[in-house]
Amino acid sequence: MHDETKVTGIHRRAVLAAAGAGIMLSQAATAEIRPAPSGPLGPLSASWRHAEVLPLWQGAAPEQGFRAMPVPPGSPPGFLRNVAVPTLHLFRPRLGNGRAVLLIPGGAYTFVVGTHEGADTADALTRLGYTVFVLTYRLPGEGWTNRWNVPLQDAQRAIRLIRANAKRYAVDEARVAVLGYSAGGHLAASLATEFAEPVYSPRDAIDTHDPRPSAAGLIYPVITLSPRYSHAQSAAALLGPTPDDALIARRSADLHVTTATPPTFLAHALDDSAVPPENSFMMLSALRSAGVAAEAHFFERGGHGFGLGSPDAPTGHWPAMFDLWLGQHLGAK
C-alpha cells in the first residue's frame, strides 16, 4: 500500500547492502512457463523481466466481473494494475537454502508495487539463498464479485502451488514463508490467520495442499480495517465504499489470530503517517495473547514504503534480522 503522491524509492545500493546481510504440477493440472513480458515496466529489474511467470489458476480465476480501469496520469512505472490473470514471478537463488518465500508487494489494493517491494526485494532474498515467488494478485476494485475474497483466494492458491511443486524448485514444503509489505502485509496477515477460510471451491490436486504459511513477515502492514487506525484507501479498495461492521471485522487480521497462526515477524516505522504503527502494535498484542511466537522491530524514523531500507539507517537491517529469525523457525540452511 502506498499513497501515489508519496512513495519512498529504494536505491540499488540499498538492495545490495541488504543482500549482503517446464513446471511440475500435479496430474490434475498443468501450467505454462513463459518469460515475463518486456513491455513498459519502467524501473523493474532485468531479473523481473527474465523471471519465469507461473499462472495461479487453470482456466478462469474464481469470481467474475473483471474490468480494466483507467491508469491515472503520472502513475509511477512498475506499479502494476489491471490484473486479469494473477501470477507468480519465480526468482531462483544460485545456491538455495531449501526455503521459499511468497513475496506480496503492497499498493493499497489499487496497484501492485513491482519495484522495490517486488523485484528488488526478491533479488535481495535470492542472494540470501531463498527461492522467491512474487505474487501479482488480483486487485479487488477491478470489478470482481466478492471483492473482499479475491486477494486471499490468490494468496491461498499461491502457497498451494509452491508446495505442489516443491521438489522441482528444491524447496522444503515445511519451509514456505510469506512476506508482505503494507497492503501486501495485510494480505500476508490474512493468509496467516485465515488460511483455512474456504474462499474458493477446490479445483484440482493442487488444492489438497496446506495453504498455511510456515512463518510470516509483515513489513509496515495494514492490519485493522477499522477506520481509526486503518489506511482508508486500502480498506475502501478491498471492502468497497460502505462495508458493514461484520465485513470490517472479517478482514481485520488481528481479530483472527489463533494458536494456529504461524510465527510472525513485524517491522514498522513509528513515524509512518500512512499506515499508523498501531497496526503492528495490535497484531503483536494479538499474537502474544494467543501464545504465538513473534518478533517486532519499531524504527524511530523511516516513514512508509521504505522497502529494504537504507544501508545507513536502522531500517536497512531488517532483512538480515528477518533472515536470522527465519533460521530459528524454519531450521538451519
**Pairing mode, if any, of strands 294-299 and 264-269?**
parallel
Distances (CA, A) of 60 to 23, 90, 132: 19, 21, 25
Angstrom distance (rounded) from CA 213 to CA 156: 9
Q: What are the pLDDT digits (tens) for 227-260?
A: 999 999 999 999 999 999 999 999 999 999 999 9
Average pLDDT over residues 124-152: 98
Phi first, then psi: give them for residue 181, nearest 5 degrees. Answer: -105, 135
- Return all residues near 245 (Cβ < 8 A) that are at least 6 apart: none
Ordered by start, the domain boundaries in the chain are 12-24+43-56+76-330
Cα distance between residue 68 and residue 156, in whole Å: 24
Mean pLDDT on 121-147: 97
pLDDT tens sequence across 9-56: 333 333 333 333 333 333 333 233 333 333 344 567 889 999 999 999
In CATH, 12-24+43-56+76-330 is 3.40.50.1820: yes
Query: What's 6-56 look like in SS3?
Result: CCCCCCHHHHHHHHHCCCCCCCCCCCCCEECCCCCCCCCCHHHHCCEEEEC
- The pLDDT of residue 42 is 53
Cell numbers 517486532: residue: 296
Please report the pLDDT score of residue 13 as a whole number.
37
**148-177 residue pLDDT tens:** 999 999 999 999 999 999 999 999 999 999
Q: Tens of pLDDT along 288-325?
A: 999 999 999 999 999 999 999 999 999 999 999 999 99
Of 214, 218, 153, give the one whose Cα is nearest residue 179: 218
Supply 159's cell numbers: 502457497
* Strand, coil or helix: 248: helix
In whole angstroms, what is the distance from residue 113 CA to residue 104 CA? 9
Predicted confidence at residue 99, as pLDDT, reads: 98
Answer yes or no: is pLDDT of 180 > 80.
Answer: yes
What pLDDT score was predicted for residue 333? 62
The CA distance from 183 to 149, in Å, is 14
Give the number of C-alpha atoms closer than 13 A to the C-alpha of residue 256, restricted to the C-beta side: 23
- Rounded Cα distance, 300 and 249, in Å: 30
3-state secondary structure of 208: helix
Cβ atoms within 10 A of the Cβ of 38, count? 11
Q: What percent of the chain has pLDDT over 70?
A: 86
The residue among 119, 137, 108, 122 whose CA lies nearest residue 6 is: 108
Task: State percent of the chain over pLDDT 90.
Answer: 83
User: Span 114-126, mean pLDDT?
Assistant: 96
Per-residue pLDDT of 56-112, as tens digits, reads: 999 999 999 999 999 989 888 899 999 999 999 999 999 999 999 999 999 999 999
> What CA–CA distance (Å, rounded) separates 7 from 303?
10
What is the pairing mode between strands 264-269 and 100-104? unpaired
Q: How confident is the model at residue 331 (pLDDT cuts 50, 70, 90)?
A: confident
Would you give the DSSP letter of residue 70?
P
